[in-house]
Amino acid sequence: MKTQKQLIEKFGNPAVDNITFERKWMTLWHVPEAIGDHIPAIPGKIYLNNLIKERLETTLFALIEADLHSEIKTFDGCFNIRKKRGLETLSLHAFGIAVDLNAAWNQLGKPSTWSNDFIEVWRRNGWECGADWKGRIDAMHFQWDNF
């Protein structure tokens, strides 16, 4: 997991200058129809950090390939300039490199409802899964900061 300092060195601080940050890093991803056909919860367009676009696409196709995609019931957001809930550091959502899924079933601090196979596909694709966090489980949350 990257520190706040490393994230701001890489991306700049979106909470201070979101215009520069968004121009440089953010993009509107037109999600391939094949993904939407299989996973209706995934919107047609997702505003995200260009750095995770291919990662997310690869991961969603891997879930479809493994027939695990039907576990995704809702897409609950990506880019959102905010702090981590209850903490002072910026959320990875502030950098557009995290997505939340099935929030209603995976509330902060509650046990994950994902299958192990589902989470393993994300791990294999380099994502850090909030379901794996000790002490502060955030099972709706998947982030990619392996830059």
Q: Give me the residues that bind Zn ion (CB under 5 A), please.
A: 98, 100, 141
Minimum CB distance to Zn ion smaller for 8 or for 139: 139
Q: What are phi and psi of 39, to 5 degrees?
A: -125, 85
Minimum CB–partner distance for residue 9 and Zn ion (Å): 22
Q: Which two tokens stand for residue 101?
A: 């899924």
Beta strand residue intervals within 23-97, DSSP E? 26-30, 45-49
Which residue is nearest to Zn ion, using beta carbons? Answer: 141
Minimum CB distance to Zn ion smaller for 29 or for 142: 142
Minimum CB distance to Zn ion smaller for 52 or for 98: 98
Minimum CB–partner distance for residue 75 and Zn ion (Å): 12
The C-alpha torsion from 2 through 10 and 119 to 81, rounded to 10°, is: 100
- Polymer length in residues for the chain: 147
Minimum CB–partner distance for residue 141 and Zn ion (Å): 3
Amino acid at 24: K
Minimum CB–partner distance for residue 142 and Zn ion (Å): 8
SS3 of residue 137 by DSSP: coil
Minimum CB distance to Zn ion smaller for 68 or for 129: 129
